[in-house]
A = this chain, B = another copy of it.
């Protein structure tokens, strides 16, 4: 990469191209450049590469290859998927259900459906952004239900399998743009959509999978490409690169997810201690490993973004698809949380720990600077309500673990316990205890973050 990417914290918008994707793209521009619909050698070769890429993607999402069509973006996948299912099931009815926190492309498509005489119900979410399963109620005339796998703004993972079960025979379209390549694909989808540039593939490749047996009628005039679901010339080199990248990120996912999960936990825990009047939003436990959002009272999001940019950090604010207009996010509004001074941090694979720490150093200064002209007298930042710090410094094993076991009940489910310890054994014992007890080990942070002059802060999230 030509520029320094260490402060690029906006992977939920687009991921930098994975090195494997770049190699595959270069190779496929040589080997797969011809029209895969042609019968001559170079055409057949492109077709073989396309077939192999389709197999890779199908395997990754738990589909059959003939259920997978490639689109040219995640948005196109959602639009053609929703409109195709609504059109295919028109005889059943014209009722559409979706959660209140879907990507704007779902909302736009629902608006269009409504404008053309369809009926739309929007299912509310809780304060953590999690859809209310009991409100996801299909009717006899429901043609389609839509739910994301995880929210793109606050990282909350949705209860897809439960909603799918509740939907019964109604097809559920799962917009998995934020999770494919990172997390297992949830069970229960009838249509699944994804976007390659979110997982380190090139732009220009989306995925639309439709389970066998789901009625589907193309919203656009169909041609012979992509099983009649996505018209237009097929971009084989980009698709090959997208599939290669998907394989690569899936191989890295377990290790990188754990690492990024701990870095995000550090941001979640520290920001409320470093910045006064801040709210970290989204479900603290059932969340994407790499994404965290917080809102700073009395702060103009655009100004803060621009200050962070100057300091070398690329982050997003408000709704990921309306950030260019900076209108308040419909996601935050639906959750009923603060939308002011909103910052979304989404860490790419390989994001350096040092950059996260630098972000945590820079952020409080910049927020203070932005707030300075307001002449406010803000209270000093306080630890979050749902957080407990156990000072086990100087105590030898097994005392830190015993303290932890005794006191974890003091935080509510989803709350955070921070164990400060300078005993090296804690490094192994605390994660092992979490594993045994089914609590979530959320990584470690410098003890200095919690005011200690030595040792390490071990973070444990109480299971809900």
Contact = CB atoms under 8 A, between A and B. Distances in A.
Given A40-B10, A238-B203, A233 B197 contact: yes
23 contacts: A2-B30, A3-B31, A17-B33, A39-B309, A39-B324, A40-B309, A42-B314, A72-B72, A73-B232, A79-B221, A105-B221, A105-B231, A108-B223, A112-B221, A197-B233, A202-B235, A202-B237, A202-B238, A203-B235, A203-B236, A204-B204, A219-B220, A238-B238
Contact of A108 (B13, B104, B231, B236): B231
Interface stretch (A249-257, A315-323, A395-403): A315-323
Instruction: Pick from A108, A204, A223, A235 the residue with the most CB of B within 10 Å.
Output: A204
Interface string A290-318: 00000000000010011011000111100
B76 A314 contact: no
Interface string A314-349: 111000011111000000000000000000000000
A324 to B, nearest CB: 4
B38 A323 contact: yes
A221 B80 CA distance: 10
Q: Taking the full assembly, how many copies of this chain does it contain?
A: 2
Interface string A3-24: 1000010100110110000100
Contacts of A26: 26
Contact of A13 (B35, B220, B232): B35
A233 B309 contact: no
A14 to B, nearest CB: 5
A234 interface: yes
Interface in A108-141: 108-109, 111-112
With most chain B CB atoms within 10 A of its CB, the pick from A17, A33, A321 is: A33
Given A26-B26, A72-B73, 11 more contacts: A2-B30, A8-B42, A13-B34, A14-B35, A38-B324, A39-B323, A74-B232, A79-B221, A105-B223, A108-B221, A219-B220
A92 interface: no
Given A73-B232, A75-B232, A17 B42 contact: no
A79 B220 contact: yes
A206 B235 CA distance: 12
A376 to B, nearest CB: 25
B38 A13 contact: yes
Contacts of A43: 314
Contact of A76 (B16, B231, B324): B231
A75 B231 CA distance: 7
Interface in A197-236: 197, 202-204, 206, 219-224, 231-236
A224 B320 CA distance: 12
Given A22-B29, A108-B221, A38 B203 contact: no
A221 to B, nearest CB: 4
Interface string A23-53: 0011001110111011111110000000000
Nearest to A308: B40
A224 B16 CA distance: 22
Given A104-B223, A314-B42, A323-B39, A76 B29 contact: no
A149 interface: no
A221 B108 CA distance: 6
A38 B16 contact: no
A75 B324 CA distance: 28
A238 B204 contact: yes
Contacts of A378: none
A372 interface: no
Contacts of A142: none
Given A33-B14, A108-B231, A203-B234, A41 B309 contact: yes
